[in-house]
Amino acid sequence: MGAKITDVAALAGVSIATVSHVINGSRPVRKETADRVQRAIRELNYTPNSSARSLKTGNKRMIGFLVPDISNLFFATMIDSIEREIAKKGYHLMVVNTCESGEKEQSVLQSLCTGIVDGVIIASSVGDSQELSDYLPKNFPVVFVDRRLKNNCADLVETVSYRAIYESVEYLLQKGHEKIGCIFGLPHLSTTQNRYDAYFRAVSDHGLSPDKALVRNLSIENSNPVPLCEELIENGCTALFFGNSRTCMQSLCVLNHYPDRYEVVTFLDSPEYRELFRGMHVIEQPTGTMGAMAGEQILKRIAHPDAPTREILLYSVFHEN
Amino acid sequence: MGAKITDVAALAGVSIATVSHVINGSRPVRKETADRVQRAIRELNYTPNSSARSLKTGNKRMIGFLVPDISNLFFATMIDSIEREIAKKGYHLMVVNTCESGEKEQSVLQSLCTGIVDGVIIASSVGDSQELSDYLPKNFPVVFVDRRLKNNCADLVETVSYRAIYESVEYLLQKGHEKIGCIFGLPHLSTTQNRYDAYFRAVSDHGLSPDKALVRNLSIENSNPVPLCEELIENGCTALFFGNSRTCMQSLCVLNHYPDRYEVVTFLDSPEYRELFRGMHVIEQPTGTMGAMAGEQILKRIAHPDAPTREILLYSVFHEN
DNA sequence: TTGTATGCGTTATCAA
DNA sequence: TTGATAACGCATACAA
């Protein structure tokens, strides 16, 4: 065990109260005294015991982030931005992979929210917020991010892509594509549903009747898009729409069998993918901003548990080329 | 704040000492009494305050994992296996992304190891363990995983791939390939160096002089393998060797421009990649086992800080086809 | 401007 | 087999 506050106080020749106040800036201290304390802290290489501090104040300076798929660069980007945001206020981020499983989400929530973290950010795999309520202590700080649950009544940071998708599909239609194949994500997610709706609307607004043969979804059992992509091509698509970066990346092997024969629009979930998608049209999602906003919001929620619930909406943008 | 131990004691009609001992199994309690306590715990939905417990016992039941690149499925696989392993003993995992930066690794270490976690597992981005020693309290429990540092003197879980690589290169040579192009990872890493050494040795053992024109590395500035892969093909390679799954996956777009013209060996870092690599030869790395062993070892190290240091070696396997 | 003393919720020692 | 009580290291109300 390292030095404690009493050691610092002794070395600086002051009381522990003064040391505490110097560290926390919680009351005025004469500059000269404060300097002496700071010197003692450095000399002893003192760091406050976080358990003692938590016990006293009731806050752990730790945020939990429940991620459905930690290996998806989309979420990796979000992890980084959340971490950066809350670090500004001295908070740490605890990331837990829920593997797109509602049950894992529930059990993780149960163990995190009873003493490990001060609040949680959730990119949830469940459909309805009621599935989580038994595992969240009453009034526990929660921010949902990316995916919107049914019956949501907590803070939410969401990206709206309707317009960007509509524009992109319209763009393809105007270039003469009549068979636009789509591969979307897991069908029960709000993001997937919204993306499908926008596509559907754009197609029907242009007088085409949507065709089941052109639309595919990933599923938990089968997350490999390659065979789906092959089916779409066999069904005669001349343009392809990918609902997320990873799906597009995994499908590159198929696309490159027939280079230049397809026009592609893909979601760009993370700037890091841009290189890979040269020559494709992209719908750029503000992933980093979403993370930062979620980080900011969870800290606000912790500070003001009774403030009114907020829904923060960001927007995707379509870039041709 | 929820129920505390005193509430449980009152409801069960016993002292807090008895409640504590029932929870921790730290001394015999009459079955009938224990049952009453358990019932009270359930009734009040009581969970021990982890800060108070940590303050008293000095242990946080939390392990830190420093990951160089959280978006790499290799590490995602390891995260899952570590988490699963330590959860068996009631520990949580705190994952922090160090972005292949030694400096971030140092600063994260500094903040984690002074009160947040009981021990750390590190897949390190630095070259020499001395670069970390200033940021690790003396005798702090550490397990290195995957990458071996110079002057290592801590526990280590490492995969040895020498034989598997040698066999794979020999296999390609025996099939008549004389120009085997390679793309390896970051050049300062032990894993990269070991892989290069094995390749080099296999090639020279077969009477060929290794050719700089056939070997490429990723770098922090340029982690996109696509142009490298194109160079190798222009240089006349008929077979390609990929030092990790992601590099191979990102190169699929190039490979598929010329399907069937190349024979490919790639590391298979995670079983989840297998589908994507149909038709390629793979070197299978026991990634999940590495994570589990690292998790097991950090708990052993925490329990026995003065036990002799261990180096745990696992082995990759070459599978043709 | 600074110091004293109490208590946060546990675990564990000592006593019964 | 069980209970009373003293720490653990800190923040803070109250005193000076």
Q: In what order do the strands lie in the sheet with B92-97?
A: B92-97, B62-67, B119-122, B142-145, B155-160, B311-315
- Name the residue with tokens 């949680």: A120
B80 at interface of A, judged by CB pairs closer than 8 A? yes
Residues of B within 8 A of A92 (CB-CB) are: 94, 111-112, 116
B253 at interface of A, judged by CB pairs closer than 8 A? yes
- Return the structure tokens found at B186: 């970051």
pLDDT of B214 reads 94
- Return the structure tokens found at A67: 């991620």
The CA–CA distances, whole Å, from B195 to A1, A133, A212, B238 equal: 41, 50, 48, 20
Residues 42-81 on chain A lying near strand C, CB distance under 7 A: 52, 55-56
The CA–CA distances, whole Å, from A279 to A167, A276, B235 equal: 18, 9, 25
Query: Which of B23, B226, B253 would you mutate first to test chain A, the one with the most A CBs within 10 A?
Result: B253
Compute the average pLDDT of residues A195-201: 95
**Is the Cβ atom of A16 within 7 Å of strand D at any atom?**
yes
A44 at interface of B, judged by CB pairs closer than 8 A? no
- For residue A159, the surrounding DSSP H or E stretch is strand A155-160
pLDDT of A149 reads 97
Residues of B within 8 A of A252 (CB-CB) are: 252-253, 256
**Is the Cβ atom of A10 within 7 Å of strand D at any atom?**
no
Across A19-23, A232-236, A268-272, A307-311, least confident range: A268-272
Give, in degrees to the nearest 5, the angle at Cα B227 between B222 and B228.
Answer: 80
Q: Torsion angle, CA of B22/B24/B26/B31, rounded to 10 degrees?
A: 20
Q: At what angle do helices B73-87 and B287-303 cross, to 10 degrees?
A: 40
Query: Which of A224, A245, A253 would you mutate first to test chain B, the one with the most B CBs within 10 A?
Result: A253
pLDDT of B205 reads 95
Q: State pLDDT tens for residues A44-94.
A: 999 999 999 999 999 999 999 999 988 888 998 999 999 999 999 989 999
Compute the average pLDDT of residues A150-159: 97
Q: How far apart are CA A22 and CA A38, in angstroms?
A: 8
Q: Which nucleotides of C are covered by protein (CB under 7 A)?
A: 1-5, 7-13
Q: Which residues contact A225 (CB under 8 A, 6 or more apart)?
A: A183, A216, A218, A247, A250, A251
> What phi and psi values does residue B207 have, to the nearest 5 degrees?
80, 10
pLDDT of B3 reads 93
**Is the Cβ atom of B50 within 7 Å of strand D at any atom?**
no
| Nearest residue (CA) to C1' of D6 | B56
For strand B317-319 and strand B180-184, is the pairing parallel, antiparallel, or unpaired? unpaired
Residues 27-56 on chain A lying near strand D, CB distance under 7 A: 46, 48-49, 52-53, 55-56
> CA at B21, C1' at C10: how many angstroms apart?
11
Give the chain A residue whose CA is nearest to the CA of B57. Answer: A51
pLDDT of B210 reads 82
Mean pLDDT of chain A: 93
Residues of B within 8 A of A256 (CB-CB) are: 252-254, 256-257
Q: How far apart are CA B150 and CA B130, in angstroms?
A: 8
Residues of B within 8 A of A100 (CB-CB) are: none
Report the nucleotide nearest the CA of residue B6, measured to C1': C9
Using DSSP's 3-state secondary structure scheme, residue B222 falls into: coil
**Is the Cβ atom of A245 within 7 Å of strand C at any atom?**
no
**Is the Cβ atom of A125 within 7 Å of strand D at any atom?**
no
pLDDT of B172 reads 96
What tens-digit pLDDT sequence spans chain B (321 residues)? 789 999 999 999 999 999 999 999 999 999 999 999 999 999 999 999 999 999 999 999 999 999 998 888 899 899 999 999 999 998 999 999 999 999 999 999 988 998 899 999 999 999 999 999 999 988 899 999 999 999 999 999 999 999 999 999 999 999 999 999 999 999 999 999 999 999 999 999 999 988 889 999 999 888 889 899 999 999 999 999 999 998 998 887 788 777 678 899 999 988 877 777 878 999 999 999 999 999 999 999 999 999 999 999 999 999 998
Q: How far apart are CA A35 and CA A46, in angstroms?
A: 15
> CA at B18, C1' at D2: how many angstroms apart?
7
Which chain A residues in 255-284 lie under 8 Å from chain B, judged by CB atoms? Answer: 255-257, 259, 272, 275-276
> What phi and psi values does residue A273 have, to the nearest 5 degrees?
-80, -15
Report the nucleotide nearest the CA of residue A56, measured to C1': C8
Distance from CA of A51 to the nearest CA of B (A): 5
Q: Which nucleotides of D are covered by protein (CB under 7 A)?
A: 1-5, 7-13
pLDDT of A259 reads 66
**A&B contacts, CB < 8 Å:** 116
Report the nucleotide nearest the CA of residue B12, measured to C1': D2
| Band (A286; pLDDT cuts 50, 70, 90) | very high
What's the first-to-final CA gap in chain B, in angstroms? 59
Residues of B within 8 A of A83 (CB-CB) are: 96-97
| Band (A279; pLDDT cuts 50, 70, 90) | confident
Q: How far apart are CA A203 and CA A201, in angstroms?
A: 5
**Is the Cβ atom of A17 within 7 Å of strand D at any atom?**
yes
Compute the Cα dihedral for A191, A193, A199, A205 and give only its sign.
negative
| Nearest residue (CA) to C1' of C5 | A17
Compute the average pLDDT of residues A127-138: 93
A195, pLDDT greater than 90: yes
Q: How far apart are CA B239 and CA A138, in angstroms?
A: 60
**Is the Cβ atom of A33 within 7 Å of strand C at any atom?**
yes
| Nearest residue (CA) to C1' of D3 | B15
Q: State pLDDT tens for residues A101-124.
A: 999 999 999 889 988 999 999 999
Cβ <8 Å between A76 and B71: yes
> CA at A14, C1' at C2: how many angstroms apart?
8
Residues of B within 8 A of A249 (CB-CB) are: 249-250
Percent of chain A beyond pLDDT 90? 81
**Is the Cβ atom of B35 within 7 Å of strand D at any atom?**
no
A1, pLDDT greater than 80: no
Cβ <8 Å between A50 and B115: yes
pLDDT of B259 reads 66
Residues of A within 8 A of B99 (CB-CB) are: 80
